[in-house]
Structure formats: C-alpha cells, structure tokens
Structure 1
Amino acid sequence: MSKMSELSLAVKELKRCGEALISISESLADLFSSDGDAHTADQPKAEVPAPDEKPITLEAVRAVLAEKSRAGHTAKVRELLEKHGANKLSEIDPSEYPALLAEAEVLGNG
C-alpha cells in the first residue's frame, strides 16, 4: 500500500472518529441542558458506529506465544498449539487465532 493511500485511510478514520466525538458531545450537551427526563425520552439516542474489528494476525499471535515461551511457559504453549490441532503456529487456521490468543494471554497469570 502506498504512503498516500495509507494517509488517505488514516484521514478518513480520523474524520469518522471526529464525527463520532461531535455526536457524543451534542448528545451530552442535550442531556445536561434538558428540562427533564420527558424531553430526553423523545429524542432518539445517537448511534456511535462500532469500531471496525481488525483481524488478529499470525504475527500478533506469534509475538504473544514467543513472549510466553521466553517467560518459561514453552510446554504450555505447545499444549495450546496441539489443543488447536497443530504442531506449529503456521498450521493453525486463522479463525482459531482469537481463541488461541485469549488462552495464551492468561498463561503465567495465575
């Protein structure tokens, strides 16, 4: 992706975030300047679009697993990989990444 297209995407995202902030600030201003609950009940609630969920990448999972392995949890990392049906990370289906990452992040926390 070229630098200009990256910049264009960043500008569009920044504009979307700004519009969401303006909408939220207007809703809060209306809420605090209203004459009671009856006035706010008639107004539709401002909808803030959910942020686009970015897919978890192989590199992100690899980084977390490497960190856990360096912290002395190599055997547990291998168990997680086997639990998800693979001997190495590159063999795991990308749809398994969120679950694998969630399980790996708790290693050593308890």
Structure 2
Amino acid sequence: MTDDELQKLAAGLTDCGKALLRMADALMEKKKEVPAAEEEKKAEKKLSLEDVRRVAADKARQGHMEEVRQLIQKFGADKLSGVDAAKYPALMEELEAIGYAE
C-alpha cells in the first residue's frame, strides 16, 4: 500500500470514529430522556380507590391495621372511601412504606 492509500484509510477511520462518537452521544441523550418520559407516564396514571384499598388491605393483613387506620385519619377521613382522591398518590406512598421502618 502506498502512503497516499494509507492516509485515505486513516482519514476514513477517523471519520468513522467521529461518527461513532456522535451516535454514542445521541444514544446517551436519548437514554436521559427515557426516564423523564417514564416519570410522566407514572404521574399520569390515576390511582383508584380500589388500588389504594388493595395496598391498605394487604398492610392490614400483615398486622399493620392500626398504622393503616392512623394514616387514613391523617388524610382527613374516618374510612378509606372518605379520603379525597387527589390525596391517593401521597396516601399510597405512605401505605407502601408501612412495615419497612421497623
């Protein structure tokens, strides 16, 4: 191979390397965008009374009946169906934490 051919190959490899770096950067940016989109989907999902009731009943069966009762009262109700639906995400978060801080 002549020097001219080697220089052309080296230039081609350099161009390939630069293209690969641009693709890697684009993939990393895309990867950063995906968790944000997943968070939006998670926030969009509306919790129903049944969703909250399922978790509350599970915690009560695990022996945390009093903690569940206190939590419902903390959210301004005497029974689960009396809790404002807008408070379900916060209630669910606290329900899920019951039993892990022992």
Regarding TM over 0.5, the answer is yes
Over the residues paired in the alignment, what is the CA RMSD in angstroms? 2.6
The answer for unaligned runs of 5 or more in structure 1 is 1-33
Structure with the larger helix share: 2
User: Quick one: distance in 2 between partners of 1:95 and 1:35?
Assistant: 52
Q: Which residue of 1 aligns with 2:55?
A: 64
Q: Tell me how far 1:69 sits from its aligned partner.
A: 0.6
TM superposition score normalised by structure 2: 0.61
Count of residues paired in the alignment: 76
Structure 1 counterpart of 2:17, one-letter code: D
TM superposition score normalised by structure 1: 0.57
The correspondence of residues 27-106 of structure 1 with structure 2, limited to 5 A, is 35-36=17-18, 40=22, 45-46=29-30, 48=34, 50-51=37-38, 52-53=41-42, 54-106=45-97
Q: Which residue of 1 aligns with 2:99?
A: 108
The answer for unaligned runs of 5 or more in structure 2 is 1-15
